[in-house]
């Protein structure tokens, strides 16, 4: 088991790591295995992170963007298009989230002022 406050392994009296007591229910599951809590990192089978290969690809993309020079290669062009599409989608989602937050704040302010 891991102490989720300190991220240190729990150790028994014998100094060995304590095994999770999965059979006792969800509260004994790791966060990535508990559907109620979940984990921002995903699960070991479906991680919410880049593979080592994709990390290298993204690093190469960033280097090409920063220098303004992309190699004349069809794989690089395809990867750059995919990465740019993802970055554009993330930016649109951020804008929608910001817009939604602003509307909520305006509504709350208007309701508060109206009720006063």
Alpha-carbon span 53 to 79, nearest angstrom: 12
Per-residue pLDDT, 41: 80
Per-residue pLDDT, 42: 81
Q: Which residues pair with 8 in a beta bridge?
A: 3
Determine the straight-line distance between the first and last CA of the chain, rounded to whole angstroms: 52
Tens of pLDDT along 12-44?
889 888 887 766 655 667 777 776 777 778 877
Reduced 3-state DSSP string for 19-65: CCCHHHCHHHCCCCCCCCCCCCCECCCCECCCCHHHHHHHHHHHHHH
CB 37 within 8 A of CB 59: no
pLDDT class of 70 with cuts at 50, 70, 90: very high
Per-residue pLDDT, 39: 78
**pLDDT surpassing 80 at residue 65:** yes
**This prediction's pTM:** 0.57
């Amino acid at each position: 088991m891991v102490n989720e406050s300190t991220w240190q392994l729990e150790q028994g009296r014998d100094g060995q790591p304590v095994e999770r007591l999965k059979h006792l229910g969800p509260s004994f599951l790791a966060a990535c295995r508990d559907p109620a809590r979940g984990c921002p990192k995903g699960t070991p089978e479906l991680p919410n992170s880049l593979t080592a290969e994709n990390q290298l690809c993204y690093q190469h993309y960033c280097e090409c963007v920063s220098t303004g020079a992309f190699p004349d290669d069809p794989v690089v062009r395809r990867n750059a298009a995919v990465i740019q599409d993802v970055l554009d989608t993330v930016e649109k989602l951020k804008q929608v989230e910001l817009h939604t937050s602003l509307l909520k704040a305006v509504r709350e302010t208007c309701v508060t002022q109206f009720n006063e």
